[in-house]
Amino acid sequence: MRIGLLFDLRNPAQWERPWADHYARTLEFCEEADRLGIGGLWFTEHHRFEDGYLPQPLTFAAAAAARTRQARIGTSVVIPALRHPALLAEEAAVVDLISGGRLELGIGAGYRVPEFQLFDVPYERRVTRAGEAVAEVRRLWRERTVTPLPLQADVPVWGGFYGPRGARLAGRLGMGHLHVSRSLFAEYTAGLEEGGHDAGTARVGGLVPLVLADDPEAAWVRIAPHLAHQKNTYRRGWSEGSDRPELPWLEPDPESPELRKFLRVLTPEQAAAEIRTMTRDLPVAHLIFWASIAGMPDDLVVRNMELFTGEIVPLFS
């Protein structure tokens, strides 16, 4: 099982730094995490976020790949419905080549209407089209229709799909499933069998909303405003441009029990116990944790990274 860190490159206005500096600093974090032994560096995608949420994860993944040597380089997730399959196949192949064969290609369906409007892509059938894109990318590689090809003969592909339907789809396509869930695992393995795949090839991974700190309560007070920003932008994005009801706004109050539901700030010892319970009897290949929560202070980011690489990675590698 590999322990990884997820970067979304948010740079909210209330904590904003110059964009070039922000990107450069994040690449430095990636380079240092790799030097310290992190198992994976993962990048995610959204568009039209006011805080500059990373819009092109494969582009940034290529930059991180060039600066690192050991960590797997992953997307969690890229949205294939917003790209032509041939473009996705080419971009992913280039990242795999630059990384020396370290790419983990995680894909998702997307859920924000404004993102599909930006690219003039229909919002309907987005889950189905994501699955179709995966099949097409694999065909393009298999038939050598695009060049150059990835270095890996079989690039690991992951489905970051929600719910029982998504878990079955990931299984039918022979993908890994980017959710660590016992209830969904049964649906996922059923999907593998439906697709004619050996259930013994099942592999899962996913994001765990957990940050490490030496003093969790002191860190929580500083992280809470950043977490409120993060969750409120997700909540706005959920309803924006759709007929979904608006979700209640979260106040950036460290004392809010509602806010605490979305993130655990723990010591390495506490985290290790939770990870053991969470992963028991599941074929977990990757656990992914936030490197930073929406522009949280660098000293917290650095210590979070140090504790994962120094305390958690040795326990689970």
Distance between CA atoms of residues 215 and 267, nearest Å: 7
Mean pLDDT of the chain: 97
Chain position carrying tokens 């393009």: 140
Tell me which architecture the domain covering 2-219+268-316 has in CATH: Alpha-Beta Barrel (3.20)
Cα separation values, 44 from 105, 148, 155, 238, 312, Å = 11, 24, 18, 17, 23
What whole-number percentage of the chain has pLDDT above 90? Answer: 98
In this model, does residue 148 exceed pLDDT 90?
yes
Distance between CA atoms of residues 97 and 74, nearest Å: 13
User: Average of pLDDT values for 64-71?
Assistant: 98
Helix (H) or strand (E) holding 241: none
Q: Rounded to two decimals, what is the model's pTM?
A: 0.97
Helix (H) or strand (E) holding 179: none
Helix (H) or strand (E) holding 205: strand 204-208
- pLDDT for 90: 98
Residues 201-211: tens digit of each pLDDT: 999 999 999 99
Give the CA angle between residues 76, 80, 85 to the nearest 5°: 135
Residues 209-252: tens digit of each pLDDT: 999 999 999 999 999 999 999 999 999 999 999 989 999 999 99
The answer to whether the CB of 18 falls within 8 A of the CB of 57 is: no
Distance between CA atoms of residues 115 and 242, nearest Å: 12
What whole-number percentage of the chain has pLDDT above 70? Answer: 100
Distance between CA atoms of residues 278 and 204, nearest Å: 12
Distance between CA atoms of residues 134 and 157, nearest Å: 8
- Angle of helix 57-67 relative to helix 19-36, nearest 10 degrees, comes to 50
Helix (H) or strand (E) holding 273: helix 268-279
Distance between CA atoms of residues 32 and 177, nearest Å: 28
pLDDT band at 71 (very low <50, low <70, confident <90, very high): very high
User: Average of pLDDT values for 159-171?
Assistant: 95
Cα separation values, 219 from 36, 125, 292, 299, 310, Å = 22, 42, 12, 10, 19
Residues 98-144: tens digit of each pLDDT: 999 999 999 999 999 999 999 999 999 999 999 999 999 999 999 99
- pLDDT for 317: 83
Residues 2-14: tens digit of each pLDDT: 999 999 999 999 9
Going by their DSSP bridges, the two strands 157-159 and 176-177 should be labelled as parallel
pLDDT band at 22 (very low <50, low <70, confident <90, very high): very high
User: Average of pLDDT values for 157-162?
Assistant: 96
Cis? peptide before 225, omega within 30° of 0 = no
Q: CB atoms < 10 A from the CB of 101, how many?
A: 14
Token pair of 130 as six digits: 């994501």
The answer to whether the CB of 164 falls within 8 A of the CB of 140 is: no
Distance between CA atoms of residues 225 and 228, nearest Å: 5
